[in-house]
Structures are given as C-alpha cells and as structure tokens.
A and B are shown apart, each in its own frame.
Chain A
C-alpha cells in the first residue's frame, strides 16, 4: 500500500537561512513524487515533481527536492528562506500503477523575519 509521511507538523526557520521540509514514502512500484504548497484559504499549488532521472528536481519559487531511493525520501529544500514562503506544504506520491495520489498530513513552514 502507498503511504507518505511528513514527520514534522511545523518547521520554523529564520529568513535567509536554508530550509528543509521532510517527506518519506512507501510504494510498491516506481514512485511519482510531488510537492504542493497551500497559502491561507487557497487551493494547493504545484511546486515540483519527480518522475525519473536526475535525483535533484528544481521547481517554482527557488524550491528544489532531492529524491533518495535508498532512504525512500523526497525532502523539499530552499537555500535561502523568505517570509513569503510561510505556508502549508504537502508531499504526495503516486504509484505508477494507479490513479490514486496519497498526500502527507502537511508541514506548516514559518519563516521568521
């Protein structure tokens, strides 16, 4: 069965510092991995995805994520956080054999000025 874990409910980081939001997954086949961001009272916006190939994926707003097959992780990173990055972040996985996406419980990122 597919599953996604976001072990941190909240991450606090100072503006200008690097940030990491963690995600681990479990699928039976090859994973398709996604990160989405949600601002208050809004729907989810796509940030980036991993299909295959290069383990480092670059996305919108300066975010990137690293796929690590041995650790079954897909952590979201950004070299220098902005206050405007404060939002709720969701990791999602889809097994290549299904239509279903499984979302994590979300991590609230707070960037402090």
Chain B
C-alpha cells in the first residue's frame, strides 16, 4: 500500500513565524502535491512537483514556497505565517503511469496561526 506521511497532525504557530510542513511518500512517485482545504472551498492546489528540484505553482502559491531535494520528500514552507493561512494542509503523491494517475493523500496537517 502507498503510504504518504505528514510530519504533524496539528500545529499551532504565531504570526510571522516561518513554518515547515513535511511530506514523505514511500512509493517512488514522481509527482507530489500540496493542497489546502477550507470549508466550502474544497481543495486548492498550492504547488506541485513532477521531479526532484522541479516545481510548478498551483492556484494559490502566494505566501508559500516548496522544496523537493529528494524524490520521496516534498516540503511546504510558509515564509511568514499569517492568520489567513490557518487551514488543513494535505499532501498527495502520484505516478504518471497510464496517464490517469491516482493521487494518494497523507492524513493532513491542521495548522492554526495565532
């Protein structure tokens, strides 16, 4: 079974702090994704990566950056956390395969910025 793990289930930070969210997958997947989930808005893509050191902006990249130094690890960085970044953050991975690749999700990190 594919396993995607996220470093924290719950995180509380203060405004202005630098925040790191880590995601690790164990299935050698090429693609990795970071989403945020907010009630009534569904999942919105922040960034994705299709290879080591490669990244593409998603729909809401402002205030975030990412790092992918190793294939299995994809980090989301909040350079200076703000209260409007309080949300559930979900990491996912997938492999291109047949072209209709299934995304596998981690359990999520619920971030609260005070």
The answer to whether A and B assemble together is yes
B107: chain A residues within 8 A (beta carbon): 41-43
Cβ-defined contact, A105 with B41, below 8 A: yes
The number of chain A residues touching the other chain, given as a range, is 20 to 34
Q: Which residue of B lies closest to A102 (CB)?
A: B45
Cβ-defined contact, A43 with B99, below 8 A: no
Q: How far is the CB of A81 from chain B (nearest CB, A)?
A: 23
Cβ-defined contact, A45 with B105, below 8 A: yes
Q: Is A110 part of the contact surface with B, judged by Cβ < 8 Å? A: no
Cβ-defined contact, B31 with A99, below 8 A: yes
Known A-B contacts A90-B43, A99-B56, A103-B42; A51 and B98 likewise in contact (beta carbons under 8 Å):
yes
Contact indicator per residue, chain B 94-110, by CB within 8 Å of chain A (1) or not (0): 00001110111111101
Q: Would you call the interface of chain B mostly helix, strand, loop, or mixed?
A: strand
Interface size on B, residues (CB 8 A): 28
Cβ-defined contact, A32 with B99, below 8 A: yes
How far, in whole Å, are A49 and B90 apart by their CA atoms in the complex? 20
How far, in whole Å, are A44 and B12 apart by their CA atoms in the complex? 22
Number of A-B contacts (CB under 8 A): 59
Q: Is B34 part of the contact surface with A, judged by Cβ < 8 Å? A: no
Q: Is B58 part of the contact surface with A, judged by Cβ < 8 Å? A: yes
Q: Is B4 part of the contact surface with A, judged by Cβ < 8 Å? A: yes
B74: chain A residues within 8 A (beta carbon): none
Q: Which residue of A lies closest to B91 (CB)?
A: A43
Q: How far is the CB of B20 from chain A (nearest CB, A)?
A: 19
Q: Is B50 part of the contact surface with A, judged by Cβ < 8 Å? A: yes
Known A-B contacts A99-B31, A105-B40; A49 and B106 likewise in contact (beta carbons under 8 Å):
no
Q: Is A96 part of the contact surface with B, judged by Cβ < 8 Å? A: yes
A45: chain B residues within 8 A (beta carbon): 105
How far, in whole Å, are A3 and B94 apart by their CA atoms in the complex? 20
B9: chain A residues within 8 A (beta carbon): 41
Cβ-defined contact, B102 with A43, below 8 A: no
Using a CB-CB cutoff of 8 Å, which residues 62-113 of chain A contact chain B? 90, 92, 94, 96, 99-101, 103-106
